[in-house]
Amino acid sequence: MKNLISINSIDDILPEYRNTPIGLLLEYHNLNRPYINYEKAQLLVGMCMDNRKHLHMPDNFAFIIRSGGANLRHSEFKVSYAIAVGEVSYIVLIAHNHCGMVNLVSRKQEFIHGLVETAGWEIEKAEEHFMHYAPLFEIGSETDFIISETMRLRLRYPKVIIAPLYYKVEDNKLYLIEEK
């Protein structure tokens, strides 16, 4: 795992993110900064659909795209919309520990069984569905994937500031991921 930077005070926020919407998100979530009112979104948050994560931030502060593993490859039009129409110029991508999109092949039988039992699928169709989509959504290591997705989006949107973050389920805190 990459090095994580704990955010326990404003001084822990990297200088390039201080006094930006990225720094504010870290302050709201980790440091209990008092909320202020926002008329429009200040940033875009890309995060996993996992139900164990909840961000502490004011209403109207951020657009949020939730996708398995925080994989925005298939949500790029939505990212472009937030930038072009929503006028956001800051993005955070948030990985988290114990992500279900890591090592998907180990959950193949559970996935197939769930579609058969819960959704009423035929076993062959459920298996075909898994085999078709699992390779598209497997992320490998959470932190490595978020770093690569951050780099990909930085190339795609060169004027947008993008930060990789990490959410620890055990303490509900956000961490900066050191990229060096």
Question: Could you tell me the residue ranges of all domains in the chain?
Answer: 4-100+140-177, 103-138
14, 38, 80, 166 from 176: Cα distances, Å:
8, 24, 24, 6
Residue holding tokens 């993005």?
A: 91
Q: What's the pLDDT band for 93 if we cut at 50, 70, 90?
A: very high
The confidence score (pLDDT) of residue 104 equals 87
What CA–CA distances, in Å, run from 31 to 10, 106, 118?
8, 37, 41
Q: What is the mean pLDDT of residues 94-101?
A: 86
H helices within 67-107, ranges in order? Answer: 76-84
pLDDT in tens, 117-148: 999 999 999 999 999 999 888 888 899 999 99
pLDDT at 161 over 90: yes
What is the number of alpha carbons within 13 Å of residue 140 lying toward its C-beta? 8
CA distance 176 to 92: 10
Q: What is the pLDDT of residue 2?
A: 61
Domain 4-100+140-177 CATH class label: alpha beta
pLDDT digits (tens, 9 = 90+) for 48-78: 888 888 899 999 999 999 998 888 998 999 9
